[in-house]
């Protein structure tokens, strides 16, 4: 994430929400990302501050559904990943080098790398989708059955019987949530990534060689490869979970985003805020919501926010820590998020 490193005093009058409008007026659910940006998969000028209805992270690209239903993609375009089709969509799923989307009429469309047929979507009406390494998956609207297509070298397309309510695809395995909340897994299981514990889940996400699940009691449990510590989940409670290539990430009930596993490259950044969505790409994290220190609502913490805070000193208008006033404690939190972000 690019930081604005110039002195915030200059250019105040260009801040649409800084001086003339209270920071609360800028509050909106916008995209914020951090981590590896080797292919431009972090939003930058393409997506910082953009409102999103849904978001998904691939190996090196990000796909979002805008509030009007259209899709925007940025990052690697080696296989045409950013060439999203037109239309109105209800869901999007980014895989290693391909993307699958669910139209509002229940039909599917796929684009990007198709060497294993992972973009050859089946006909029919569907309610949920997933994109993995080189395979894709979906849940049929008619009976809740899972369908998978693409690479099947490890049995990742040999779907178990449903019905299911949700589905996720990892590198070479697939995980679906049954109607009773339990997990069904199939595909490569060399590290136990398909050996789901006996529990009821509200959310599950598959990484490259591991799986992370949010239990109905708000605790997180992970299974599969733990070579990088990606299955050593810290204590919750949590609201959302996601799995990257070799890391896991969760949203705490206090609004803090926490990552574990291979978290170099900025993945350990832990912003405070109110977030509604959480997605993990290959080595990056994307959230939709609002960081507490993002006072101007542009999706990042920068000198612009520091300008807002200084102008609001002594009032509750830029109260980052929620104590009722803007003071040095709020300045410390803002600077901490700015420096690490």
Is residue 64 within 8 Å of 92, Cβ to Cβ?
yes
Which pLDDT does position 142 carry in this prediction? 97
2 is a domain residue: no
Task: Select, from the ranges 35-49, 195-209, 278-292, 309-323, the one with the highest average predicted confidence (pLDDT).
Answer: 195-209
In a domain, 5, yes or no: no
Q: Does the pLDDT of residue 51 top 60, yes or no?
A: yes
pLDDT in tens, 88-104: 999 999 999 999 999 99
* Residues 273, 311 within the same domain: no
Task: Identify the CA nearest to 319 among candidates 49, 23, 32.
Answer: 23
| Position 47 in a domain | yes
215 and 306 together in one domain: no
Split at pLDDT 50, 70, 90, the class of 256 is: confident
Same domain, 221 and 322: no
pTM: 0.88
91 located within any domain: yes
Query: Could you tell me how many residues make up the chain?
Result: 341
Are residue 258 and residue 309 in the same domain, yes or no? no
Q: What is the pLDDT of residue 298?
A: 81
In this prediction, residue 19 carries a pLDDT of 39
Q: Rounded to whole angstroms, how far apart are CA atoms 319 and 15?
A: 18
Residues 181 and 170 both lie in one domain: yes
Query: Do 259 and 315 reside in the same domain of the chain?
Result: no
Give the pLDDT band (50/70/90) at residue 133: very high
Whole-number pLDDT of residue 302:
85
Of residues 6 and 106, the one with the higher pLDDT is 106
**Spatial CB neighbours of 63, under 8 Å, sequence gap ≥ 6:** 55, 56, 57, 71, 72, 73, 84, 92, 93, 94, 99, 101
Q: Are residues 190 and 256 in the same domain?
A: yes
> 33 near 285, Cβ under 8 Å?
yes
CATH of the domain at 214: 2.130.10.30
Same domain, 205 and 287: yes
Give the pLDDT score at 160: 98
Predicted pLDDT of residue 190: 97
Q: Residue 336: its pLDDT value, please?
A: 86
CA dist 135 and 310 (Å) reads 51
The pLDDT confidence band at residue 222, using thresholds 50, 70 and 90, is very high
Domain count, the chain: 2
Residue 1 lies in a domain: no
Q: Same domain for 260 and 195? A: yes
Domain that holds residue 85: 29-294
Q: Are residues 172 and 311 in the same domain?
A: no
Domain-embedded: residue 4:
no
Strand partners of residue 101: 92, 109
d(CA 19, CA 199): 51
- Is residue 266 scored above 60 in pLDDT? yes
pLDDT tens profile 32-49 = 889 999 999 987 655 567
């992970």: which residue's tokens? 222
Give pLDDT tens digits for 5-27. 222 222 222 233 333 434 444 55
Do residue 186 and residue 311 come from a single domain? no
> Which has the closest alpha carbon to 75: 35, 110, 104?
35
Q: Residue 87: which region, alpha, beta or left (left: phi > 0; alpha: psi -120 to 50)?
A: left
Average pLDDT, the chain: 89
How far is Cα of residue 164 from the mean position of the Cα atoms in its chain?
22
Give me the percent of the chain exceeding a pLDDT of 90.
Answer: 71
User: Are residues 199 and 333 located together in one domain of the fold?
Assistant: no
List of residues 6+ apart from 15 with CB closer than 8 A: 296, 304, 307, 308
- Say what the pLDDT of residue 20 is: 42
Q: Establish if 56 belongs to a structural domain.
A: yes
Peptide bond into 295 cis (omega under 30): no
| Nearest Cα to Cα of residue 274 among 259, 258, 257 | 257
What is the per-residue pLDDT for 6?
A: 25
Domain assignment present for 3: no
Q: Based on the number of CB atoms within 10 Å of its own CB, is 325 exposed (0-12), middle (13-18) or buried (19 or more)?
A: middle
């Amino acid at each position: 994430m690019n930081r604005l490193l110039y002195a915030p005093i200059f250019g105040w009058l260009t801040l649409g929400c800084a001086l003339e409008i209270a920071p609360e007026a800028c509050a909106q659910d916008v995209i914020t990302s951090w981590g590896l940006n080797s292919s431009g998969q972090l939003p930058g000028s393409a997506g910082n501050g953009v409102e999103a209805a849904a978001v998904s992270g691939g190996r090196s690209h990000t796909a979002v559904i805008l509030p009007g239903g259209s899709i925007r993609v940025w990052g690697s375009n080696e296989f045409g990943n950013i060439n999203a089709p037109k239309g109105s969509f209800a869901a999007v799923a980014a895989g290693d080098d391909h993307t699958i989307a669910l139209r509002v009429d229940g039909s599917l469309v796929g684009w990007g790398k198709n060497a294993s047929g992972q973009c050859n979507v089946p006909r029919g009406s569907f309610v949920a989708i997933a994109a993995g390494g080189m395979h894709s998956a979906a849940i049929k609207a008619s009976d809740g059955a899972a369908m998978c297509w693409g690479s099947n070298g490890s049995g990742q397309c040999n779907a178990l019987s449903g019905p299911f309510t949700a589905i996720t695809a990892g590198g070479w395995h697939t995980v679906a949530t049954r109607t009773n909340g339990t997990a069904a897994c199939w595909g490569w299981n060399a590290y136990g990534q398909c050996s789901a514990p006996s529990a009821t889940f509200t959310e599950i996400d598959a990484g490259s060689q591991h799986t992370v699940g949010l239990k109905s009691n708000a605790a997180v449990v992970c299974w599969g490869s733990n070579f990088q510590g990606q299955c050593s989940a810290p204590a919750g409670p949590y609201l959302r979970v996601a799995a990257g290539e070799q890391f896991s990430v969760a949203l705490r009930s206090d609004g803090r985003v926490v990552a574990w596993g291979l978290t170099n490259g900025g993945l350990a950044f832990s912003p405070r805020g109110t977030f509604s969505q959480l997605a993990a790409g290959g080595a990056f994290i994307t959230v939709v919501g609002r960081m507490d220190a993002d006072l101007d609502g542009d999706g990042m913490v920068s000198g612009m926010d520091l300008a807002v805070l200084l102008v609001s000193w002594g009032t509750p208008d830029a109260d980052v820590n929620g104590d009722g006033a803007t003071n040095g404690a709020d300045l410390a939190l803002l600077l901490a998020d700015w420096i690490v972000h």
